[in-house]
């Protein structure tokens, strides 16, 4: 039997996947702190790097981390992407900016939204600060930080954040 239209090579179909995440002890401490508008990481006893959110072990040295360190909700943009393509699951006005931010006191960047300025004004080295949800909306979730927005501080020179770019 032959197919007059040729072989079928693919289909497009909606999918849905639900995840249940069980945080370890380091993540639990982080989530409890963020519910109080505090950001905590853990410091490696070998290399002294501070990881936010904490992982329970240093990814560079492979040793357990236990020393908790509170860091600032201010940080530096070390790289970013301007998103101009709509997504069915993301209800943000286009364009928007997703950035890697190194918080003051931390040694690893994490991704967050940048709002509060036009996308074409975001730059590497820019100083930003977290915008938190109101206190009555706080819970053990990263969503306590709505986004980061620029603050009135000079840009950080490249030499001070280049290892994170």
Q: What is residue 2's predicted lDDT score, i.e. its pLDDT? A: 53
Q: What is residue 117's predicted lDDT score, i.e. its pLDDT? A: 95
Q: What is the average per-residue pLDDT within 72-101? A: 92
- Residue holding tokens 């905590």? 40
Q: What is residue 3's predicted lDDT score, i.e. its pLDDT? A: 60
User: C-alpha distances in angstroms, 135 versus 19, 99, 142, 145, 150?
Assistant: 27, 25, 14, 11, 22
Summarize pLDDT for 17-70 with one digit per residue, the tens: 888 878 888 889 999 999 999 999 999 999 999 999 998 999 899 999 999 999
Q: What is residue 87's predicted lDDT score, i.e. its pLDDT? A: 83
pTM of the model: 0.83
User: C-alpha distances in angstroms, 25 versus 64, 74, 91, 117, 164?
Assistant: 12, 25, 32, 37, 26
Cβ pair 95, 82 in contact under 8 A: yes
Instruction: State whether the Cα torsion 113-119-124-130 is positive or negative.
Output: negative
Summarize pLDDT for 115-151 with one digit per residue, the tens: 999 999 999 999 999 999 999 999 999 999 999 999 9
Is 5 or 99 the better-scoring residue by pLDDT? 99
Domain 72-165 has CATH 3.30.390: no
Each domain of the chain, given as residue ranges in start order, spans 21-71, 72-165
- Residue holding tokens 């329970």? 56
């Amino acid at each position: 039997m032959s197919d007059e239209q040729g072989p079928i090579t693919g289909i497009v179909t909606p999918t849905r996947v639900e995840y249940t995440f069980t945080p370890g002890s380091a993540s639990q401490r982080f989530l409890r702190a963020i519910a109080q508008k505090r950001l905590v990481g853990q410091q490696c006893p070998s290399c002294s790097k501070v990881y936010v959110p904490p992982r329970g072990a240093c990814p560079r040295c492979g040793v357990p981390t236990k020393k908790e360190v509170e860091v600032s909700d201010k940080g530096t943009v070390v790289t970013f992407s301007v998103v101009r393509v709509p997504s069915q699951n993301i209800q943000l006005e286009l364009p928007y900016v997703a950035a890697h931010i190194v918080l003051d006191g931390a040694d690893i960047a994490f991704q967050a939204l940048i709002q509060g300025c036009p996308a074409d004004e975001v730059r590497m080295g820019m100083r930003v600060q977290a915008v938190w949800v109101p206190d009555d909306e706080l819970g053990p979730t990263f969503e306590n930080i709505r986004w980061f927005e620029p603050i009135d501080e000079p840009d950080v020179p490249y030499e001070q954040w280049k290892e994170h770019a």
